């Protein structure tokens, strides 16, 4: 198994290597990086490249670790016992596996994406430690052990809104996705817009890095914003000339009101 | 052979433990490094280092342990020193209209110059140095050339390490608004404290069902935002160089939605009988008024360089603004603030090594002081939570 990037995802050399490290020493891969540098897309790309299904668990601020393992639907059981049919003595029927559980029982090895783990409660990663380490858990209600048939590749993304616990970090392979340099960005754009005229592309990317270099930006635009911006430029049929004297559709790149005031000064609009 | 690397990392405060080290060995057994130093650089980093803030320390350790082993040509030390000079971008010359050199020609000339050059050169079109239109050095202009000093160059592991690209991600450096926000967010931990007073319906239903229908009430502590924060900022004078930094701290605090109440005031040098609600210090608010208005549960962060003439801190009427006639000295006012708001911290943008100034030392004795960096702010927040 060797990950080399996919057609729709341009990975830097170091990134490819890190993915292969995680694959062969069988540890979770923790990805950090500025928002919009393609952390989530990478998981999809890995899954495609090594032909495994992707299971995606999106973490919210209220998500509990238990939900990823299994849920015991007590309310359904209560409802069934009063009004429903079926055998309420069979607790198994009311156990629903979460994404981690699904990944464990899957016959084929999968890629399990735990997206934006830092959104959840501080204790969340710790609650998953043993399960991800041993790749098994115990369902108290039924006395059943769920053991991973095939060890899934776990990919975890974080926007570093919260610090992750040390014990958790110790078990991961870590990679920080840096913001791409101009060359890599050129290749990334090419993947998304293969037909884009090269002069226009160059000018747009140059403009984009110019904007990123402005100081005082509260939120500098990221790759995904560049892609949006380019599609809007193409959709509106902008040409090279427009890009030279102005920044059309600035709203695609800059999302904060304070930041919009800065370009007005720089461009003397 | 690798163990010294392990201990160098630890010496540079990268928290690597035995388990990570064993994982690295496992990786090496799988031949993941492919017997190449470049691959080893990324392999070891992915396994041993768990935060981009520590990448820079990792680069340093890597350089210490492996630099000697790379057979690259060594640029003379003194040439490096000549090139340490910073050049104002405005002074950078225009690219002259001459033909670019081929790579071979460039390398040949470079080695020639390395042999011949005996002294410092800046500007000009031949020697290694800053500025000018020579192809060698930095901040100059030539259609082709070899940059020496600063980032750039190939992607060989030692080169990558040498670039120290991750210097800016270090937590003991000052960064942007977002990182301040993350640090301030730690104050939010407070929210879940208190007595279990609110009925949690979901948990109650669940518990009741588990309990075979016998009602079992579950209570949770209220989840309200309890954090109240007052930010007092020093403006003007010696604080001018730090204006941008203080600005980003302010906007981080201001944009954070997790405070029950957030107030900010300005002062100059030290807090005296008045603070100001605007940066230009026109609208004054009596400091005593703050004590009346805000309960002692408010947390206070003071930001300032704490550097002033000792007179301004230790003597009544020391306020630099001449119309201030004060019965109390700045130090006394700080003590009063400290007495009223028990949880209080001072953030100083001045680097810690300059903190042996008499007024800084005096203030430090009253208010716990932290450097205004991401790490410092995090420590200050932890201090506020404890107090």
Sequence-ordered list of residues with C-beta below 8 angstroms from that of A82, at least 6 positions apart, any chain: none
Quick: pLDDT tens for B208-242.
888 887 778 888 876 666 778 898 988 877 787 88
The reply to whether residue B205 touches residue A74, judged by beta carbons under 8 angstroms, is yes
Quick: pLDDT tens for B153-175.
334 556 666 666 666 556 555 55
Confidence of residue B70 (pLDDT cuts 50, 70, 90): very low
The reply to whether residue A21 touches residue B47, judged by beta carbons under 8 angstroms, is yes
Q: Which of A74-78, A97-101, B126-130, B254-258 has the highest mean pLDDT?
A: A97-101
The reply to whether residue A21 touches residue B27, judged by beta carbons under 8 angstroms, is yes
B304 pLDDT above the threshold of 50: yes
Spans of chain A below 70 pLDDT: 1, 215-216, 218, 258, 261-269
The reply to whether residue B205 touches residue A75, judged by beta carbons under 8 angstroms, is yes
Nearest-Cα distance to chain A for B194, in Å, is: 18
Confidence of residue B74 (pLDDT cuts 50, 70, 90): very low
The reply to whether residue A22 touches residue B46, judged by beta carbons under 8 angstroms, is yes
For chain B, which residues make up each domain, given as ranges? 3-71, 77-147, 228-386
* Cβ neighbours of B243 in A, within 8 Å: none
Which among B47, B26, B58, B39 has a CA at the least distance from the CA of A172? B47
What pLDDT is attached to residue A223?
86
- For A174, which of B17, B46, B169 is closest by C-beta distance? B46
* Cβ neighbours of A122 in B, within 8 Å: 189
* Cβ neighbours of A166 in B, within 8 Å: 15, 50
Comparing alpha-carbon positions, the chain A residue that sits nearest to B251 is: A218
* Cβ neighbours of A257 in B, within 8 Å: none
Instruction: Quickly count helices (H) and strands (E) in chain A.
Output: 12, 9
The reply to whether residue A25 touches residue B23, judged by beta carbons under 8 angstroms, is yes
The reply to whether residue A24 touches residue B210, judged by beta carbons under 8 angstroms, is no
What would the CATH number be for the domain defined by B228-386? 3.40.50
Query: Helices B243-255 and B177-185, interaxial angle, to 10°?
Result: 50
What pLDDT is attached to residue B287?
87
Q: Please indicate if any CB of chain B lies within 8 Å of the CB of A14.
A: yes
SS (H, E, C) A212-247: HHCCCCCCCCCHHHHHHHHHHHHHCCCCHHHHHHCC
Q: Please indicate if any CB of chain B lies within 8 Å of the CB of A82.
A: no
Cβ under 8 Å to A: B residues 101-140? none
> Among all chains, which residue has been given the structure tokens 């993947």?
A191
Quick: pLDDT tens for B94-105.
555 555 555 556
Stronger pLDDT, B112 or A226, i.e. the higher one: A226
Q: Please indicate if any CB of chain A lies within 8 Å of the CB of B380.
A: no
* Cβ neighbours of B191 in A, within 8 Å: none
Q: Please indicate if any CB of chain A lies within 8 Å of the CB of B27.
A: yes
Mean of all residue pLDDT scores within chain A:
84
Comparing alpha-carbon positions, the chain A residue that sits nearest to B41 is: A14
> Among all chains, which residue has been given the structure tokens 């170091």?
A14
- When pLDDT is averaged across residues B275-298 and rounded to a whole number, the result is 84
Quick: pLDDT tens for B191-202.
555 677 778 888
How many CB pairs lie under 8 A apart between chains A and B? 74
Q: Please indicate if any CB of chain A lies within 8 Å of the CB of B342.
A: no
Q: Please indicate if any CB of chain B lies within 8 Å of the CB of A11.
A: no
* Cβ neighbours of A27 in B, within 8 Å: 23
Structure ipTM: 0.78
The reply to whether residue B182 touches residue A162, judged by beta carbons under 8 angstroms, is yes
Comparing alpha-carbon positions, the chain A residue that sits nearest to B20 is: A170
CATH architecture observed for domain A13-177: 3-Layer(aba) Sandwich (3.40)
Confidence of residue B68 (pLDDT cuts 50, 70, 90): low
What pLDDT is attached to residue B217?
83
B261 pLDDT above the threshold of 70: yes
Quick: pLDDT tens for B12-65.
888 888 888 988 888 888 877 777 788 888 888 889 988 887 888 888 888 888
What pLDDT is attached to residue B286?
86
Question: In which element (H, E) is residue A201 found?
Answer: helix A198-213
Report the C-alpha gap between A4 and A49 in whole angstroms. Answer: 8
B280 pLDDT above the threshold of 80: no
* Cβ neighbours of B46 in A, within 8 Å: 17-18, 21-22, 173-175
Identify the residue among A14, A39, A71, A88 best suited for mutation to test binding to B, counting B beta carbons within 10 A and taking the highest.
Answer: A14
Identify the residue among A170, A214, A215 best suited for mutation to test binding to B, counting B beta carbons within 10 A and taking the highest.
Answer: A170
A69 neighbors A129 (Cβ within 8 angstroms): no
Q: Please indicate if any CB of chain A lies within 8 Å of the CB of B200.
A: no
What pLDDT is attached to residue A244?
72
SS (H, E, C) chain B: CCHHHHHHHHHCCCCCCHHHHHHHHHHHHCCCCCCCHHHHHHHHHHHHCCCHHHHHHHHHHHHHHHHHHCCCCCCCHHHHHHHCCCCCHHHCCCCCCCCCCCHHHHHHHHHHHHHHCCCCCCCCCCCCEECCCCCEEECCCCCCCECCCCCCCCCCHHHHHHHCHHHHHCCCCCCCHHHHHHHHHHHHHHHHCCCCCEECHHHHHHHHHHCCCCCCCCEECCCCCCCEEEEEEECCHHHHHHHHHHHHHHHHHHHCCCCCEEEEEEEECECCCEEECCCCCCCEEEHHHHHHHCCCCCEEEEECCCCCCHHHHHCCCCCCCCCCCCCCCHHHHHHHHHHHCCCEEEEECCCHHHCCCHHHHHHHHHCCEEECCHHHHHHHHHHHHHC
Q: Please indicate if any CB of chain B lies within 8 Å of the CB of A269.
A: no
- The CA–CA distances, whole Å, from A129 to A29, A249, B169, B291, B323 equal 14, 45, 27, 47, 63
What pLDDT is attached to residue B73?
40
Three-state SS at A194: coil
The reply to whether residue A174 touches residue B32, judged by beta carbons under 8 angstroms, is no
B359 pLDDT above the threshold of 80: yes
* Cβ neighbours of A78 in B, within 8 Å: 209, 213
Which among B162, B141, B9 has a CA at the least distance from the CA of B75? B162
What pLDDT is attached to residue B149?
45
Nearest-Cα distance to chain B for A182, in Å, is: 13
Stronger pLDDT, B119 or B327, i.e. the higher one: B327
For chain A, which residues make up each domain, given as ranges? 13-177, 182-267
């Amino acid at each position: 198994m060797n990950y080399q990037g996919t057609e729709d995802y341009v990975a830097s050399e170091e990134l490819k290597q890190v993915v292969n490290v995680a694959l062969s020493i069988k540890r979770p891969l923790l990805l950090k990086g500025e928002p919009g540098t393609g952390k989530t897309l990478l998981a999809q790309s890995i899954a495609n490249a090594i032909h495994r299904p992707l299971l995606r668990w999106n973490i919210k601020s209220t998500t509990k670790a238990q939900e990823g393992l299994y849920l015991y639907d007590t309310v359904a059981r209560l409802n069934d016992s009063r009004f429903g049919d079926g055998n309420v003595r069979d607790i198994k029927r009311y156990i629903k596996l979460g994404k981690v559980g699904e990944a464990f029982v899957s016959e084929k090895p999968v890629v399990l994406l735990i997206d934006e783990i830092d959104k959840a409660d501080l204790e969340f990663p710790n609650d998953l430690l043993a399960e991800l380490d041993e790749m098994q858990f115990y369902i108290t209600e039924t006395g059943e052990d769920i053991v991973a048939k095939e060890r899934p590749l776990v990919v975890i993304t974080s926007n570093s809104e919260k610090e992750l616990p040390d014990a958790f970090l110790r078990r991961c392979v870590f990679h920080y996705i840096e913001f791409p340099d101009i060359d890599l960005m050129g290749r990334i754009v090419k993947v998304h817009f293969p037909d884009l005229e090269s002069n226009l592309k160059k000018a747009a990317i140059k403009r984009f890095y110019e904007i990123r270099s402005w100081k005082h930006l509260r939120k500098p635009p990221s790759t995904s914003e560049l892609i949006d911006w380019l599609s809007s430029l193409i959709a509106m049929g902008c040409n090279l000339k427009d890009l030279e004297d102005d920044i059309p559709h600035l709203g695609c790149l800059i999302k904060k009101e304070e930041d919009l005031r800065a370009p007005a000064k720089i461009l003397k609009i | 052979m690798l163990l010294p690397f392990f201990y160098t990392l630890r010496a540079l405060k990268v928290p690597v433990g035995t388990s990570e080290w064993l994982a690295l060995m496992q990786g090496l057994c799988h031949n993941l490094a492919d017997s190449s130093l470049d691959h080893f650089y990324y392999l070891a980093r992915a396994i041993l280092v768990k935060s981009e803030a520590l990448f820079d320390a990792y680069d340093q350790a890597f350089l210490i342990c492996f630099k000697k082993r790379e057979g690259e040509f060594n640029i003379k030390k003194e040439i490096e020193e000549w090139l340490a000079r910073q050049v104002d971008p405005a002074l950078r010359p225009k690219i002259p209209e001459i033909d670019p050199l081929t790579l071979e020609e460039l390398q040949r000339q470079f080695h020639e110059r390395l042999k011949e050059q005996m002294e410092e050169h800046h500007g000009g079109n031949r020697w290694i140095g800053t500025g000018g239109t020579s192809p060698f050095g930095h901040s100059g202009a030539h259609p082709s050339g070899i940059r020496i000093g600063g980032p750039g160059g190939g992607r060989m592991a030692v080169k990558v390490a040498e670039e120290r690209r991750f210097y800016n991600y270090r937590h003991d450096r000052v960064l942007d608004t977002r990182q301040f926000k993350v640090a301030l967010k730690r104050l939010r931990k407070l929210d879940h404290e208190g007595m279990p007073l609110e009925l949690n319906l979901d948990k109650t239903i669940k518990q009741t069902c588990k309990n075979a229908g016998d009602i079992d009430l579950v209570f949770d502590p209220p989840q309200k935002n309890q954090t109240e924060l007052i930010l007092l900022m020093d403006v003007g004078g010696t604080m001018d160089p730090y204006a941008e930094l203080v600005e980003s701290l302010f906007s981080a605090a201001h944009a954070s939605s997790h405070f029950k109440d957030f107030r900010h005031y300005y002062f100059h040098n030290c807090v005296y009988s008045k603070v100001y609600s605007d940066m230009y210090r026109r609208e004054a608010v009596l400091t005593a008024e703050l004590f009346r208005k805000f309960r002692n549960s408010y947390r206070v962060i003071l930001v300032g360089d704490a550097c002033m003439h000792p007179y301004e801190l230790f003597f009544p009427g020391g306020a630099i603004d001449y119309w201030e006639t004060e019965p109390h000295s700045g130090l006394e006012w700080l003590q009063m603030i400290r007495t009223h708001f028990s949880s209080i911290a001072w953030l100083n943008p001045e680097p810690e090594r300059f903190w042996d100034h008499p007024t800084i030392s005096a203030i430090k004795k009253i208010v716990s002081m932290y450097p205004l960096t991401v790490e410092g702010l995090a420590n200050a927040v932890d201090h506020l939570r404890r107090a």
